[in-house]
């Protein structure tokens, strides 16, 4: 059965949202420009990945600090219960229903199609409408993977491990733990049945360190929050969000193995 959880106030929601985001904003707009000066584009691209990895690790640590303050321990059972890391729950009965896992198949397909067909056009539209939000030169990792650089990465396992760490803390232990695990279960008291909408919008806006992704990311972010709330299981947004990580790791693996 669904158990009621003591809800956050609006001030608590915004404070946690900011505590998770501020390190990323400082790293993205302050530390990165300072440290990337004089580096090659490829070195700068890797630096940005490394800095954001540390910012995401902080979100994981923050999630555990909040959990400990609220629950008194950080045992696996407590993490699972508090962060909705459980089997999906039926909206009709309030009981666990393992058959609902089958919903992941169409959801993954829809998300994959959206990623392939819509992300780039939406990002281009967004930055045409609001050019001041476009990524400044050197503010993405694309320079890491120019055709002339790819042969240099054969056997460069450090690259794979950095992207693996980034992926784990991006789509599992960092962003999803904090914004879906910590916040989503406790936003109903302020936002009611629209708590998942508020969660998705806040998650999109958290990306101040890369505002050029706001429009392209809004629908997926709303989808992550909706599936977590609807199935009362944050494994759904974790799995959906991690799809891009898994795909990218396969591509990085191919580069490191010299297959690209």
Let me know if residue 222 belongs to a domain: yes
Q: Is residue 5 part of a domain?
A: no
The whole-angstrom separation of Cα 143 and Cα 133 is: 20
Answer whether residue 1 is part of any domain: no
Using one digit for the tens of pLDDT, what is the confidence trace for 104-146?
999 999 998 998 899 889 999 999 999 998 888 778 777 777 7
Residue 151 lies in a domain: yes
Contact 139, 35 (CB under 8 A): no
Structural domain includes residue 73: yes
**Which segments in the chain show pLDDT lower than 70?**
1-4, 260
Look at residue 1 in the predicted model and tell me its pLDDT: 46
Task: Provide the domain count of the chain.
Answer: 1
Task: Decide: 232 and 94 in contact? Cβ < 8 Å.
Answer: no
* CA 129/CA 123 separation, integer angstroms: 10
The range of the structural domain enclosing residue 130 comes to 10-93+100-256
pLDDT score recorded for residue 255? 81
Range 247-252 contact pairs with CB under 8 angstroms and sequence separation of 24 or more: 248/163, 248/167, 249/160, 249/163, 249/164, 249/167, 252/159, 252/160, 252/163
Measured over all CA atoms, what is the biggest interatomic distance in the chain, rounded to whole angstroms? 60
Residue 4 lies in a domain: no
216/127 Cα distance (integer angstroms): 11
Could you tell me the pTM of the whole model? 0.89
DSSP 136: P
Can you give the pLDDT at residue 82?
A: 94
């Amino acid at each position: 059965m669904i158990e009621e959880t003591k809800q956050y106030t609006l001030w608590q929601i915004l404070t946690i949202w900011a505590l998770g985001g501020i390190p990323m904003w400082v790293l993205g707009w302050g530390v990165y420009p300072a440290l990337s000066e004089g580096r090659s584009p490829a070195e700068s691209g890797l630096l940005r990945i490394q800095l954001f990895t540390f910012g995401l690790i902080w979100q994981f640590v923050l999630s555990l600090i909040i959990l400990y303050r609220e629950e008194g321990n950080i045992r696996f059972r407590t993490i699972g219960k508090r962060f909705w890391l459980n089997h999906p729950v039926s909206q009709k009965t309030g009981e666990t229903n393992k058959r609902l896992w089958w919903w992941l198949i169409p959801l993954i397909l829809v998300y994959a199609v959206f990623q392939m067909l819509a992300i780039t056009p939406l990002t281009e539209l967004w930055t045409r409408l609001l050019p001041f939000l476009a990524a400044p030169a050197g503010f993405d990792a694309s320079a890491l993977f120019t055709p002339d650089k790819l042969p240099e990465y054969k056997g460069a396992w450090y690259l794979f491990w950095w992207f693996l760490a980034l992926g784990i803390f991006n789509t599992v232990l960092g962003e999803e733990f904090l914004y879906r695990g910590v916040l989503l279960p406790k936003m109903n008291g302020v936002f009611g049945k629209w708590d998942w909408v508020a969660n998705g919008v806040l998650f999109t806006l958290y990306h101040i360190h890369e505002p050029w992704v706001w429009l392209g990311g809004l629908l997926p972010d709303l989808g992550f929050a909706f599936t977590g709330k609807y199935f009362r299981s944050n494994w759904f947004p974790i799995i959906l969000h991690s799809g891009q990580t898994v795909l990218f790791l396969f591509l990085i693996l191919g580069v490191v193995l010299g297959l690209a």
